[in-house]
Amino acid sequence: SQSPSPRQNMPVRYFIMKSSNLQNIDISQQKGVWSTTPSNERKLNGAFWESSTVYLIFSVQGSGHFQGFARMGSAIGCEKSQDWGSAGFGGVFKVEWIRKESIPFQFAHHLLNPWNDSKKVQ
């Protein structure tokens, strides 16, 4: 029998990842990687090591939609990617896309974020 995962009884974490454009999400879906700003790296790496699973819900800024969601597949490393073409991004990490679909924010308006003054999730 296999031994249980050492993080099995730890919480699941969720993050909404805002992208400046749809092209970045397309690249992520094709290559199975993502990169974020250095200010987000510490939060995501902490969640990766302290949680059983980290889900990333993607949305293009100003689109009014979610574009899908993925599971964080690795911690964020030091290697940078030229795919995004922006000097503002940090290291690359693996993501495993679970669902790729454009879903309007209105479908999630019943979800409220207690860590953000119970505002709607979007």
Number of domains in the chain: 1
CATH of the domain at 64: 3.10.590.10
For residue 113, report the phi and psi dihedrals to the nearest 5 degrees: -95, 105
Whether residue 105 is contained in a domain is answered as yes
Residue 4 located in a structural domain: no
In-domain check, residue 82: yes
2 in a structural domain? no
The type of residue at 59 is: S
pLDDT of 16 strictly over 80: yes
pTM higher than 0.85, yes or no? no
Q: What is the pLDDT of residues 48-80, one digit of tens each?
A: 999 999 999 999 988 888 899 999 999 998 888
Q: Give Cβ neighbours of residue 104 (< 8 Å, ≥ 6 apart).
A: 64, 65
Question: Given pLDDT bands bounded at 50, 70 and 90, which one contains residue 106?
Answer: confident
**What domain range includes position 87?**
12-120
Residue 6 lies inside a defined structural domain of this protein: no
Q: Could you tell me if 60 and 27 are in contact, meaning their C-beta atoms sit under 8 angstroms apart?
A: no
